[in-house]
Amino acid sequence: MCGIFGRLSFSEPFSLQDVPRIVASLAHRGPDDEGHLILAEGKLQSCRGIDTDKSLGLPRLVEYPHSKLVLSHRRLSIIDLSSAGHQPMLDVTGRYGLVFNGELYNYRELQKELHNEGITFRTNTDTEVVLQSLIFWGTTAFNKFNGMWALAFWDNKMDELLLSRDRFGVKPLYYTHTPEGIAFASEIKALKKLESFKFIPNKRIISEYLATTKQSYGPETFYDGIFEVLPGHWMEWDEHGDCENTSYWKYEPSIKKWNYPDALCEFSRIFKDSIKIRMRSDVEVGSLLSGGLDSSTIVGTLNELHLITDNSFQTFSAVYDDERFSERKYIDELLKVIPVNAHFIEPDTQHLEDDIYALLEKTDEPIRSLSILSQFNIYRYIRQHTKVKVLLNGQGADELFAGYTNSYFKLFADLFWKMKWLTLIKEMRFFQANRPMPLKRLFITIIGQIKKSYDKKDFFTIEQYNELKIAPLREYLKYDDRTSMAFGLEARAPFLDYRLVEFAYTLPSDFKILNFRNKRIVRDFATDVVPDIILNRTDKMGFVTPQEEWQRSCLKNAFIRKFKNIDCYGDFFDVEKAKMSFNEYLNKKNNNWQLIWKYYCLIVFLEQNITPNISKNMTT
């Protein structure tokens, strides 16, 4: 897990003077090592940075004032902690260079496969397996990879730069055009330090952010001219600057005729192996534990596989005094049967505004809500108080196995068009018995989904798949990366093993929701590893915060200050509408706290990016 930066010119060499400053902005992602790769007289040359092991004998980057290429790397050492894992990594011929951010969980299996092809290895790193895989298999290697990654691969003979991102976008990768070529980085903040960067807010994305709850639709960001490499894609630039943008993960959902016991057996096989290979690490591994089904299933499976043998395995949970926002009672039940060293982290509301600013500085873009503040606080605690560097979490389970409330409405629409009337009525009755809604609202919601699903085969499955590929998962993965990497920690998601993902979208809907019981196949698998009180939960919480109450109490004055002087942002959104909404909110004429938060978050975002003079005036 690391931070990467690179720049390529299609014409004249550029100055390397700003590279150390740019790469320093990514140091939190990789506190253990730094390295650079440039072109010197047509050959690839490795250079050392401020934190490079001097025993490697590399020249300093400052000795080379200009280059047409630079690949830079900040390392978080997870596998093979020696200097053998230093990046950028060159092959023995000096033709190929690689910077790699992420983990290749099946690197041992691929290393064996490559060894059988006659390829030798100099290190025990997954990075070298990635390098040799790309040399031997080319871009088809990406379909062999089981992991999370963002990488840049340079072929010095062909003058070609290849960027790639994992199937689901667990690891981030952004790029922008420069006067002479392109630049890319793990985080937007690095690209903002380019001398050619000029902040221009993306008004279309701002408008969508205010109007909807979804943020991740395509390659665009809140910054005009800065784009994401899409999940499951690779992009390759040739010496002339021509770019090929290709989707390598071409999976399409297709329902299979399973019998349930066989499907449950297959889930068990894949999930257990996913857990095992995500425990591969040369540093300490722990787990987030929310008290919900997903994280509890992960910890319970670790215990069943005898990967938890004493109280040394550490878990981390966000808790609150207010039981409406705390899952402590569920976590305590799990701790009665599984021996772990449990940590509980509570928010510090006295420094809440400072924490929000720190969080938004790390995310680079406005966020949907403060739900990720719990993760931010947990990861900060882990960095400050433990030696754990890798954390397992339950990301992805809701998208794969129908864990959201709207999954029921999509199921109802699917059953309607399949004319399964008795099943539809039964499921609607179960829903109303467990999560009662006013009938008018319920039917309006269902009719909306029925209209949306007209003439769509397997609507339920396709909509779930969109939750994986478009939103909300892409958004959640972005937040998880920023909050963990802000403190030099690696987050791993066992539910997002691509084998489990592809399996999940072959399952019929009743393997996921039956008699209101959602995530059915996960619950049945977890029967022997998770206490009944967790298995039988019908509510959903996750990592939440009392945000609505905070906005009306400890954050109220901060919000008033921000909304007081927003006229200077009239070019970017309707400030009169914003002020009216806020005044109605203060006077309790509306309680749309989510919209008020988005305005507040957007103001802070603009403050942090527009000229210091405006920012200074805004706080006086």
Angle between helices 459-469 and 473-485 (to 10 degrees): 30
- The CATH number of the domain covering residues in 260-350+366-399+489-535: 3.40.50.620
Q: What is the pLDDT of residues 155-203, one digit of tens each?
A: 999 999 999 999 999 999 999 999 999 999 999 999 999 999 999 999 9
Q: What is the mean pLDDT of residues 417-424?
A: 95
* Domain definitions of the chain by residue range: 2-247, 260-350+366-399+489-535, 547-618
Average pLDDT, the chain: 94
Answer for the pair 184, 5: CB distance below 8 angstroms, yes or no. yes
User: Which residues, 6 or more positions from 613, have their beta carbon under 8 angstroms from its beta carbon?
Assistant: none
- Residues 6 or more apart whose CB falls under 8 angstroms from that of 495 comprise 271, 274, 294, 394, 395, 396, 397, 400
At how many degrees (to 10) do helices 421-434 and 439-452 cross? 140
372 Cα distance to chain centroid: 12
pLDDT single digits (tens) 42-98: 999 999 999 999 999 999 999 999 999 999 999 999 999 999 999 999 999 999 999
Helix (H), strand (E), coil (C) string for 385-434:
HCCCCEEECCCCHHHHHCCCHHHHHHHHHHHHHCCCHHHHHHHHHHHHHH
Distance CA 608, CA 361 (A): 8
| 58: DSSP letter | P
Return d(Cα 111, Cα 475) in angstroms, integer. Answer: 33
- Pick the range with the lowest mean pLDDT from 167-171, 389-393, 455-459, 541-545: 541-545
For the record, the structure tokens of 140 come out as 């088809």
The whole-angstrom separation of Cα 420 and Cα 447 is 16
Q: Could you report the per-residue pLDDT of 123-134, keeping only the tens digit for each?
A: 999 999 999 999
Of 599, 537, 524, give the one whose Cα is nearest residue 563. 599
Domain 2-247 has CATH 3.40.47.10: no
**Segment 146-163 mean pLDDT:** 98
The pLDDT, as a whole number, for residue 474 is: 92
On whether the CB atoms of residues 275 and 494 are closer than 8 A, the answer is yes
